[in-house]
């Protein structure tokens, strides 16, 4: 009943809108597969214990730390990474406001911050400052750029409201 130790697992997963069928190792995480198998290196590997949020992606619209999800668990889901926020050469609204407010300093945490912010705005399009602080509490920024990051998320929310 039990397959060979460590034998590959076939998964079907939609990544940034594109259907993929992949053979993954059972002990490889979703983060490993995104970066190493699919070349989507926007998602960052950092603490590997679910404390920093640098590896945040959306699985079926819900934000998760991809370092704490086995790739095999992602079978049948739709995954959105930071690469999926832009359309061709056009950045998404959050990415634009992050650039404008200077939210990206060294930039390492930014893909995770963007994905956490994207998940927040999807469920709460007009967040208060406190909502943003709570929504991004799982994402650390070693440059200490929190003020600009919060400002960027609030600006994106305002701009979305103005455009609709």
Partner 1 sequence: MRAFTYERPTRLDDALALLAAHGPEARLLAGGTDLIIRLRDGSIRPRVVVDLKRIAELDADIREADGGLRIGARAVMTDIAADARIVRDYEALAEAAAVVGSIQIRNRATLAGNICNASPAADTAPSLLVYGARVIVAGVAGTRAVPLDEVFVRSGVTTLAADEIVTAIELPRPAKPGRSVHVRRTRRRGHDLASVTLTCAVDTDGLTRLAYGSLGPRPLLVADDTGLLADPAAPDAAKAERLETLFAAAAPSPRSMRASPDYRLAMLHVLGLRAVGTAIDRLTGGSAR
Binding site for partner 1 (CB under 8 A): 1-7, 9, 25-29, 48-51, 53, 56, 62-65, 67-70, 72-73, 116, 119-120, 133-135, 137-139
Helix axes of 146-163 and 93-101: crossing angle, nearest 10 degrees? 140
In the complex, minimum distance from the CB of residue 164 to partner 1, in angstroms, rounded to a whole number:
25
In the complex, minimum distance from the CB of residue 57 to partner 1, in angstroms, rounded to a whole number:
9
In the complex, minimum distance from the CB of residue 100 to partner 1, in angstroms, rounded to a whole number:
25
Q: Please name the helix (run of DSSP H) or strand (run of DSSP E) that holds residue 54, with its range, or none.
A: none
In the complex, minimum distance from the CB of residue 88 to partner 1, in angstroms, rounded to a whole number:
28
State which residue, 133 or 147, has the beta carbon closest to partner 1: 133
In the complex, minimum distance from the CB of residue 112 to partner 1, in angstroms, rounded to a whole number:
9
The position carrying tokens 């949020």 is: 53
HEC-encoded secondary structure of 86-152: CECCECCHHHHHHHHHCCCCCCCCHHHHHHHHHHHHHHCCCCCHHHHHHHCCCCCCCCCCHHHHHHH
Q: For residues 130 and 142, what is the distance between their CA atoms, to the nearest angstrom?
A: 21
Q: For residues 125 and 110, what is the distance between their CA atoms, to the nearest angstrom?
A: 20
State which residue, 3 or 162, has the beta carbon closest to partner 1: 3
State which residue, 26 or 92, has the beta carbon closest to partner 1: 26
State which residue, 5 or 19, has the beta carbon closest to partner 1: 5
State which residue, 9 or 91, has the beta carbon closest to partner 1: 9
CA 26 to chain CA mean position, Å = 22
């Amino acid at each position: 009943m039990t397959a060979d130790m460590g034998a590959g697992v076939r998964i079907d997963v939609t990544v940034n809108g594109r259907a993929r069928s992949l053979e993954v190792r059972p002990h490889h995480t979703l983060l490993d597969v995104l970066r190493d198998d699919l070349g989507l290196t926007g998602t960052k590997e950092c603490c590997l214990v679910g404390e920093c949020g640098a590896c945040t992606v959306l699985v079926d619209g819900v934000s998760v730390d991809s370092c704490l999800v086995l790739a095999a668990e992602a079978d049948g889901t739709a995954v959105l990474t930071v690469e999926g926020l832009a359309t061709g050469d056009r950045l998404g609204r959050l990415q634009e406001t992050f650039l404008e407010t200077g939210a990206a300093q060294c930039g390492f945490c930014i893909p995770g911050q963007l994905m956490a912010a994207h998940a927040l705005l999807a469920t709460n399009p007009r967040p208060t400052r406190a909502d943003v602080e709570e929504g991004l509490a799982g994402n650390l920024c070693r440059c200490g750029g929190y003020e600009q990051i919060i400002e960027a998320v609030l600006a994106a929310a305002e701009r979305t409201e103005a455009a609709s």
